[in-house]
Amino acid sequence: MSFNAKMHVADGAATLRLVGELDRRSAPRLNELIIEAASRQVKRLVLLMDELKYMSSAGLRCLVFAHQKMPRGVQIVLIGTRPEVAETIKLTGFDRSITMEDSVEAP
């Protein structure tokens, strides 16, 4: 399966929808979007993860990159992370550096 990521910026938040498999081949695309989001001076970086089926260590490095690249005080939120992906994040302890939510509340 391939990887796709799209970004939407509104109301001080950059929202990225991640679809497919995030691995070493697809990680550079996510890093490009993270750099773009950081340049927009947002207050939140939201990653919609419900359609992300797999994340390798390269994907974890993307999350660390986001944490380092975003300006101080920007909240990073992962929403709808599948259990198998969430387990990988929790095993590294990175879940203590970000916010993980089950679902997004509709406005």
Average confidence (pLDDT) per 10 residues, the chain, 107 residues:
92 96 96 96 96 94 96 96 93 92 66
Separation between Cα atoms, residue 92 and residue 60, nearest integer Å: 9
> Cβ distance 49 to 18 under 8 Å?
yes
> Cβ distance 44 to 12 under 8 Å?
yes
pTM of the model: 0.91
Residue 99: the pLDDT is: 95
Domain 3-101 has CATH 3.30.750.24: yes
Helix 27-39 crosses helix 57-69 at what angle (to 10 degrees)?
Answer: 10
Would you mind telling me the total number of residues written for the chain in this entry? Answer: 107
* φ, ψ for residue 81, nearest 5 deg: -65, 125
Question: Tokens 């929403």 identify what position?
Answer: 79
Enumerate the β-bridge partners of residue 16.
7, 47
Sheet of strand 3-10, all strands in order from the earlier edge strand to the far edge:
3-10, 13-22, 44-55, 75-79, 99-101
Q: Give domain limits for the chain.
A: 3-101
> Cβ distance 20 to 2 under 8 Å?
yes
